[in-house]
Structure 1
Protein backbone atom coordinates (compact mmCIF):
# COMPACT_ATOMS: atom_id res chain seq x y z
CA UNK A 1 0.00 0.00 0.00
CA UNK A 2 1.11 3.54 -0.68
CA UNK A 3 1.56 5.76 2.34
CA UNK A 4 0.25 9.32 2.05
CA UNK A 5 1.98 11.60 4.57
CA UNK A 6 0.00 14.82 4.45
CA UNK A 7 -3.39 14.40 2.78
CA UNK A 8 -5.58 17.42 2.07
CA UNK A 9 -9.01 17.16 3.66
CA UNK A 10 -11.96 18.79 2.00
CA UNK A 11 -15.62 18.30 1.19
CA UNK A 12 -17.23 18.28 -2.23
CA UNK A 13 -20.83 18.87 -3.21
CA UNK A 14 -21.00 15.19 -4.23
CA UNK A 15 -20.38 14.29 -0.55
CA UNK A 16 -23.84 15.73 0.19
CA UNK A 17 -25.75 14.18 -2.74
CA UNK A 18 -27.47 11.44 -0.75
CA UNK A 19 -28.89 13.87 1.81
CA UNK A 20 -32.25 15.58 1.86
CA UNK A 21 -31.55 19.31 1.83
CA UNK A 22 -32.16 21.57 3.50
CA UNK A 23 -31.57 19.80 6.80
CA UNK A 24 -30.34 20.89 10.20
CA UNK A 25 -29.58 17.39 11.47
CA UNK A 26 -26.87 16.64 13.96
CA UNK A 27 -23.93 14.44 13.01
CA UNK A 28 -24.96 10.99 14.29
CA UNK A 29 -23.07 7.89 13.20
CA UNK A 30 -22.22 4.30 13.95
CA UNK A 31 -18.67 3.45 15.04
CA UNK A 32 -16.87 0.56 16.65
CA UNK A 33 -16.33 1.10 20.37
CA UNK A 34 -14.37 -1.76 21.86
CA UNK A 35 -15.79 -4.94 20.38
CA UNK A 36 -19.20 -3.40 19.67
CA UNK A 37 -20.64 -1.71 16.61
CA UNK A 38 -22.23 1.22 18.39
CA UNK A 39 -25.08 3.12 16.76
CA UNK A 40 -26.44 6.55 17.68
CA UNK A 41 -23.10 8.20 18.44
CA UNK A 42 -23.34 12.00 18.40
CA UNK A 43 -20.33 13.91 17.08
CA UNK A 44 -20.27 17.20 18.97
CA UNK A 45 -17.51 19.76 18.26
CA UNK A 46 -18.85 21.85 21.14
CA UNK A 47 -18.43 19.16 23.78
CA UNK A 48 -15.28 19.21 25.91
CA UNK A 49 -15.63 15.54 26.91
CA UNK A 50 -16.39 12.15 25.42
CA UNK A 51 -19.52 10.65 26.97
CA UNK A 52 -20.65 7.03 27.15
CA UNK A 53 -24.14 6.62 28.56
CA UNK A 54 -24.41 4.03 31.33
CA UNK A 55 -27.02 1.94 29.51
CA UNK A 56 -24.63 1.50 26.56
CA UNK A 57 -21.79 0.77 29.02
CA UNK A 58 -23.91 -2.02 30.54
CA UNK A 59 -24.82 -3.46 27.12
CA UNK A 60 -21.10 -3.69 26.32
CA UNK A 61 -20.79 -5.99 29.36
CA UNK A 62 -17.91 -3.99 30.78
CA UNK A 63 -17.49 -4.61 34.48
CA UNK A 64 -17.75 -1.68 36.88
CA UNK A 65 -14.19 -2.52 38.00
CA UNK A 66 -13.01 -0.95 34.71
CA UNK A 67 -14.38 2.43 35.82
CA UNK A 68 -11.88 4.95 37.11
CA UNK A 69 -13.41 7.17 39.80
CA UNK A 70 -13.92 10.81 38.89
CA UNK A 71 -15.64 13.56 40.81
CA UNK A 72 -15.53 16.42 38.30
CA UNK A 73 -19.10 17.33 37.32
CA UNK A 74 -20.22 17.98 33.77
CA UNK A 75 -21.98 21.30 33.40
CA UNK A 76 -24.83 21.24 30.92
CA UNK A 77 -27.09 23.78 29.35
CA UNK A 78 -28.61 26.00 32.01
CA UNK A 79 -25.90 25.08 34.54
CA UNK A 80 -27.26 21.60 35.31
CA UNK A 81 -24.55 19.46 36.93
CA UNK A 82 -24.20 15.78 36.13
CA UNK A 83 -21.69 13.66 38.04
CA UNK A 84 -20.15 10.80 36.03
CA UNK A 85 -20.28 7.26 37.39
CA UNK A 86 -16.60 7.06 36.39
CA UNK A 87 -14.30 7.12 33.39
CA UNK A 88 -13.34 4.25 31.10
CA UNK A 89 -10.81 4.01 28.27
CA UNK A 90 -11.87 1.95 25.25
CA UNK A 91 -10.50 1.64 21.74
CA UNK A 92 -12.47 3.11 18.86
CA UNK A 93 -12.13 2.19 15.20
CA UNK A 94 -13.51 4.49 12.51
CA UNK A 95 -13.35 4.43 8.73
CA UNK A 96 -13.02 1.66 6.19
CA UNK A 97 -9.82 -0.33 5.77
CA UNK A 98 -7.18 0.83 4.94
CA UNK A 99 -8.28 4.45 5.53
CA UNK A 100 -9.19 3.86 9.16
CA UNK A 101 -7.83 4.70 12.56
CA UNK A 102 -7.97 2.88 15.88
CA UNK A 103 -7.21 4.84 19.04
CA UNK A 104 -7.87 4.66 22.76
CA UNK A 105 -10.57 7.07 23.87
CA UNK A 106 -11.43 7.98 27.46
CA UNK A 107 -15.16 8.33 28.07
CA UNK A 108 -16.94 9.77 31.06
CA UNK A 109 -19.72 7.30 31.88
CA UNK A 110 -22.94 9.14 32.72
CA UNK A 111 -26.12 7.61 34.13
CA UNK A 112 -28.89 9.73 32.66
CA UNK A 113 -31.44 9.50 29.87
CA UNK A 114 -30.41 10.17 26.30
CA UNK A 115 -31.38 9.17 22.79
CA UNK A 116 -27.66 8.66 22.12
CA UNK A 117 -25.36 5.85 23.22
CA UNK A 118 -22.25 8.03 23.21
CA UNK A 119 -20.96 11.49 22.39
CA UNK A 120 -17.59 12.16 20.78
CA UNK A 121 -16.26 15.57 21.74
CA UNK A 122 -13.27 17.76 20.94
CA UNK A 123 -10.64 15.61 22.72
CA UNK A 124 -11.22 12.74 20.29
CA UNK A 125 -11.85 14.85 17.20
CA UNK A 126 -8.64 16.79 17.82
CA UNK A 127 -6.58 13.66 18.46
CA UNK A 128 -7.80 12.31 15.10
CA UNK A 129 -7.11 15.67 13.39
CA UNK A 130 -10.70 15.26 12.20
CA UNK A 131 -12.70 17.71 10.15
CA UNK A 132 -16.48 17.60 10.48
CA UNK A 133 -19.21 18.96 8.25
CA UNK A 134 -22.80 19.08 9.44
CA UNK A 135 -23.85 20.16 5.95
CA UNK A 136 -22.37 16.97 4.48
CA UNK A 137 -23.15 14.91 7.63
CA UNK A 138 -19.63 13.58 7.46
CA UNK A 139 -16.35 13.42 9.30
CA UNK A 140 -12.99 13.10 7.53
CA UNK A 141 -9.57 12.44 9.05
CA UNK A 142 -6.03 11.76 7.83
CA UNK A 143 -4.66 8.21 7.88
CA UNK A 144 -1.41 6.67 6.73
CA UNK A 145 -3.18 5.65 3.51
CA UNK A 146 -5.17 8.74 2.61
CA UNK A 147 -8.27 10.44 3.94
CA UNK A 148 -10.65 8.29 5.95
CA UNK A 149 -14.29 9.17 6.30
CA UNK A 150 -17.42 8.24 8.17
CA UNK A 151 -20.85 9.31 7.02
CA UNK A 152 -23.55 10.36 9.40
CA UNK A 153 -26.90 8.60 9.50
CA UNK A 154 -29.59 11.05 8.37
CA UNK A 155 -32.44 8.79 9.58
CA UNK A 156 -30.84 8.05 12.97
CA UNK A 157 -30.21 11.76 13.55
CA UNK A 158 -33.89 12.51 12.97
CA UNK A 159 -35.01 9.63 15.22
CA UNK A 160 -32.69 10.78 18.01
CA UNK A 161 -34.04 14.32 17.72
CA UNK A 162 -37.64 13.09 18.02
CA UNK A 163 -36.70 10.82 20.95
CA UNK A 164 -35.08 13.72 22.80
CA UNK A 165 -38.21 15.83 22.30
CA UNK A 166 -40.36 13.06 23.73
CA UNK A 167 -38.29 12.42 26.86
CA UNK A 168 -40.25 12.97 30.04
CA UNK A 169 -37.41 14.09 32.28
CA UNK A 170 -36.78 17.53 30.79
CA UNK A 171 -37.03 20.41 33.21
CA UNK A 172 -39.94 22.76 32.68
CA UNK A 173 -39.25 25.98 30.80
CA UNK A 174 -38.43 28.86 33.09
CA UNK A 175 -40.70 31.89 32.92
CA UNK A 176 -39.29 35.07 31.47
CA UNK A 177 -40.99 38.26 32.64
CA UNK A 178 -40.66 41.77 31.36
CA UNK A 179 -39.39 44.21 34.02
Structure 2
Protein backbone atom coordinates (compact mmCIF):
# COMPACT_ATOMS: atom_id res chain seq x y z
CA UNK A 1 0.00 0.00 0.00
CA UNK A 2 1.36 3.43 -0.90
CA UNK A 3 0.48 6.29 1.42
CA UNK A 4 0.10 9.76 -0.04
CA UNK A 5 2.84 12.01 1.40
CA UNK A 6 1.97 11.20 5.05
CA UNK A 7 -0.95 13.64 5.34
CA UNK A 8 -1.67 15.22 8.71
CA UNK A 9 -4.96 14.43 10.38
CA UNK A 10 -6.67 17.44 11.87
CA UNK A 11 -10.08 18.68 12.94
CA UNK A 12 -11.62 22.11 12.45
CA UNK A 13 -14.73 23.90 13.62
CA UNK A 14 -16.05 23.34 10.09
CA UNK A 15 -16.05 19.58 10.83
CA UNK A 16 -18.53 20.20 13.66
CA UNK A 17 -20.85 22.65 11.87
CA UNK A 18 -23.59 20.14 11.04
CA UNK A 19 -23.98 19.04 14.69
CA UNK A 20 -26.36 20.33 17.33
CA UNK A 21 -24.28 21.92 20.11
CA UNK A 22 -23.83 21.71 22.98
CA UNK A 23 -23.88 17.91 23.17
CA UNK A 24 -22.42 15.03 25.17
CA UNK A 25 -23.34 12.38 22.60
CA UNK A 26 -21.52 9.11 22.16
CA UNK A 27 -19.84 8.45 18.83
CA UNK A 28 -22.28 6.16 16.98
CA UNK A 29 -21.69 5.33 13.31
CA UNK A 30 -22.83 3.04 10.50
CA UNK A 31 -20.38 0.56 8.98
CA UNK A 32 -20.57 -2.03 6.24
CA UNK A 33 -19.89 -5.48 7.69
CA UNK A 34 -19.92 -8.19 5.06
CA UNK A 35 -22.87 -7.32 2.82
CA UNK A 36 -24.74 -5.75 5.70
CA UNK A 37 -24.99 -2.06 6.60
CA UNK A 38 -24.71 -2.18 10.37
CA UNK A 39 -26.33 0.83 12.04
CA UNK A 40 -25.97 1.88 15.70
CA UNK A 41 -22.29 0.97 16.09
CA UNK A 42 -20.73 2.51 19.19
CA UNK A 43 -17.12 3.68 18.84
CA UNK A 44 -15.57 3.13 22.26
CA UNK A 45 -11.89 3.92 22.87
CA UNK A 46 -12.23 2.15 26.23
CA UNK A 47 -13.25 -1.23 24.80
CA UNK A 48 -10.57 -3.89 24.51
CA UNK A 49 -12.57 -5.77 21.83
CA UNK A 50 -14.70 -5.25 18.74
CA UNK A 51 -18.09 -6.71 19.61
CA UNK A 52 -21.26 -7.23 17.56
CA UNK A 53 -24.27 -8.66 19.33
CA UNK A 54 -25.41 -12.06 18.06
CA UNK A 55 -28.52 -10.86 16.14
CA UNK A 56 -26.35 -8.34 14.25
CA UNK A 57 -23.81 -11.09 13.54
CA UNK A 58 -26.59 -13.28 12.09
CA UNK A 59 -27.72 -10.44 9.81
CA UNK A 60 -24.17 -10.06 8.43
CA UNK A 61 -24.65 -13.32 6.55
CA UNK A 62 -21.49 -14.89 7.97
CA UNK A 63 -21.92 -18.58 8.79
CA UNK A 64 -22.03 -19.68 12.42
CA UNK A 65 -19.22 -22.15 11.61
CA UNK A 66 -16.86 -19.16 11.41
CA UNK A 67 -17.38 -18.54 15.12
CA UNK A 68 -14.72 -19.92 17.42
CA UNK A 69 -14.97 -19.91 21.23
CA UNK A 70 -12.81 -17.39 23.05
CA UNK A 71 -11.82 -17.15 26.70
CA UNK A 72 -10.64 -13.54 26.36
CA UNK A 73 -12.18 -11.27 28.98
CA UNK A 74 -14.22 -8.26 27.89
CA UNK A 75 -13.06 -4.99 29.34
CA UNK A 76 -15.14 -2.33 29.50
CA UNK A 77 -19.82 4.71 8.94
CA UNK A 78 -22.02 7.12 6.60
CA UNK A 79 -19.08 8.44 4.53
CA UNK A 80 -16.95 7.15 1.72
CA UNK A 81 -16.52 3.38 1.44
CA UNK A 82 -13.14 2.33 2.78
CA UNK A 83 -12.36 -1.38 3.14
CA UNK A 84 -10.97 -2.27 6.56
CA UNK A 85 -10.97 -5.71 8.18
CA UNK A 86 -12.32 -6.22 11.70
CA UNK A 87 -12.12 -9.36 13.81
CA UNK A 88 -15.23 -9.39 16.01
CA UNK A 89 -15.81 -11.06 19.35
CA UNK A 90 -19.52 -12.00 19.10
CA UNK A 91 -21.59 -11.66 22.28
CA UNK A 92 -25.10 -13.00 22.81
CA UNK A 93 -26.66 -10.31 25.00
CA UNK A 94 -29.12 -7.50 24.55
CA UNK A 95 -27.76 -4.05 23.84
CA UNK A 96 -28.94 -0.75 22.45
CA UNK A 97 -26.01 -0.96 20.02
CA UNK A 98 -25.58 -3.54 17.26
CA UNK A 99 -21.82 -3.52 17.76
CA UNK A 100 -18.92 -1.83 19.52
CA UNK A 101 -15.76 -0.84 17.73
CA UNK A 102 -12.93 -0.73 20.24
CA UNK A 103 -9.20 -0.21 20.44
CA UNK A 104 -8.18 -3.20 18.27
CA UNK A 105 -9.82 -1.71 15.18
CA UNK A 106 -9.14 1.92 16.04
CA UNK A 107 -5.45 1.15 16.55
CA UNK A 108 -5.19 -0.97 13.38
CA UNK A 109 -6.74 1.92 11.42
CA UNK A 110 -4.43 4.40 13.19
CA UNK A 111 -7.68 6.25 13.82
CA UNK A 112 -8.21 9.45 15.72
CA UNK A 113 -11.61 9.99 17.30
CA UNK A 114 -13.01 13.28 18.51
CA UNK A 115 -16.34 13.18 20.32
CA UNK A 116 -16.87 16.95 20.13
CA UNK A 117 -16.89 16.56 16.34
CA UNK A 118 -18.53 13.08 16.47
CA UNK A 119 -15.96 11.97 13.94
CA UNK A 120 -13.26 9.40 13.24
CA UNK A 121 -10.39 10.25 10.90
CA UNK A 122 -7.81 7.75 9.68
CA UNK A 123 -5.17 7.35 6.99
CA UNK A 124 -5.91 5.48 3.77
CA UNK A 125 -3.86 4.93 0.65
CA UNK A 126 -5.84 7.81 -0.88
CA UNK A 127 -5.40 10.33 1.93
CA UNK A 128 -7.43 10.93 5.08
CA UNK A 129 -10.66 8.94 5.45
CA UNK A 130 -13.40 10.10 7.75
CA UNK A 131 -16.42 8.60 9.38
CA UNK A 132 -19.08 10.83 10.93
CA UNK A 133 -21.23 10.01 13.91
CA UNK A 134 -25.01 10.19 13.82
CA UNK A 135 -26.72 12.27 16.54
CA UNK A 136 -30.16 10.87 15.65
CA UNK A 137 -28.88 7.29 16.05
CA UNK A 138 -27.37 8.20 19.44
CA UNK A 139 -30.75 9.39 20.68
CA UNK A 140 -32.46 6.27 19.29
CA UNK A 141 -29.95 4.10 21.17
CA UNK A 142 -30.65 6.02 24.36
CA UNK A 143 -34.40 5.45 23.99
CA UNK A 144 -33.85 1.74 23.27
CA UNK A 145 -31.59 1.44 26.31
CA UNK A 146 -34.16 3.10 28.57
CA UNK A 147 -36.90 0.76 27.29
CA UNK A 148 -34.90 -2.43 27.79
CA UNK A 149 -36.32 -4.67 30.52
CA UNK A 150 -32.96 -5.70 31.90
CA UNK A 151 -31.23 -2.32 32.00
CA UNK A 152 -29.57 -1.19 35.18
CA UNK A 153 -30.91 1.91 36.80
CA UNK A 154 -28.48 4.52 38.03
CA UNK A 155 -28.97 5.45 41.66
CA UNK A 156 -27.64 8.38 43.56
CA UNK A 157 -25.03 7.63 46.22
CA UNK A 158 -27.10 9.71 48.64
CA UNK A 159 -29.90 7.10 48.58
CA UNK A 160 -27.58 4.43 49.96
CA UNK A 161 -25.88 6.32 52.79
CA UNK A 162 -26.55 5.05 56.25
CA UNK A 163 -25.25 6.61 59.44
CA UNK A 164 -22.91 4.41 61.43
CA UNK A 165 -23.57 4.19 65.15
CA UNK A 166 -20.51 4.73 67.36
CA UNK A 167 -19.16 1.52 68.90
CA UNK A 168 -18.40 3.24 72.20
CA UNK A 169 -19.47 6.36 74.02
CA UNK A 170 -17.55 9.42 72.88
CA UNK A 171 -16.01 11.77 75.42
CA UNK A 172 -16.12 15.57 74.89
CA UNK A 173 -12.71 17.22 75.42
CA UNK A 174 -12.37 21.04 75.61
CA UNK A 175 -9.35 22.28 73.69
CA UNK A 176 -9.68 25.88 74.84
CA UNK A 177 -11.37 27.26 77.96
CA UNK A 178 -12.57 30.38 76.15
Shared fold (TM-score, shorter chain, > 0.5): yes
Distance 1:10 1:173, change over 3 A: closer
| TM-superposed deviation, 1:22 | 0.3
Which runs of 5 or more residues in structure 2 are unaligned? 165-178
Deviations 1:69-112 (A, max 9, x none): 11234255xxxxxxxxxxxxxxxx88525xx3x23211110011
2:32 matches 1:28: no
Pick from 125, 129, 140 the counterpart of residue 159 of structure 1: 140
2:48 matches 1:55: no
Distance in structure 2 (CA, Å) of the matches to 1:135 and 1:173: 25
Partner of 1:13: 13
Partner of 1:79: none
Distance in structure 2 (CA, Å) of the matches to 1:17 and 1:148: 18
**Cα RMSD over matched residues?**
2.2
| TM-superposed deviation, 1:61 | 2.8
Partner of 2:131: 150
Distance in structure 1 (CA, Å) of the matches to 2:23 and 2:153: 27
Secondary structure of the residue aligned to 1:107 is coil
Distance in structure 2 (CA, Å) of the matches to 1:173 and 1:19: 28
Pick from 96, 116, 141 the counterpart of residue 80 of structure 2: 96
Which runs of 5 or more residues in structure 1 are unaligned? 77-92
**Structure 1 contact 5–144 (Cα < 8 Å) conserved:** no
Distance in structure 2 (CA, Å) of the matches to 1:136 and 1:173: 27
Task: From the CA coordinates, give the structure whose radius of gyration is larger.
Answer: 2
> TM-score w.r.t. structure 2 length?
0.81
The 5 A counterparts of 1:32-51 are: 32-51=32-51
> TM-score w.r.t. structure 1 length?
0.81
Partner of 2:89: 108
Between stretches 64-73 and 50-59, larger displacement belongs to 64-73
Distance 1:75 1:44, change over 3 A: closer
Secondary structure of the residue aligned to 1:108 is coil
Secondary structure of the residue aligned to 1:104 is coil
Deviations 1:6-64 (A, max 9, x none): 11001000100011000111101111111111111110011111001001011223221
| TM-superposed deviation, 1:172 | 5.5
Pick from 109, 115, 120 the counterpart of residue 134 of structure 1: 115
Distance 1:63 1:112, change over 3 A: same
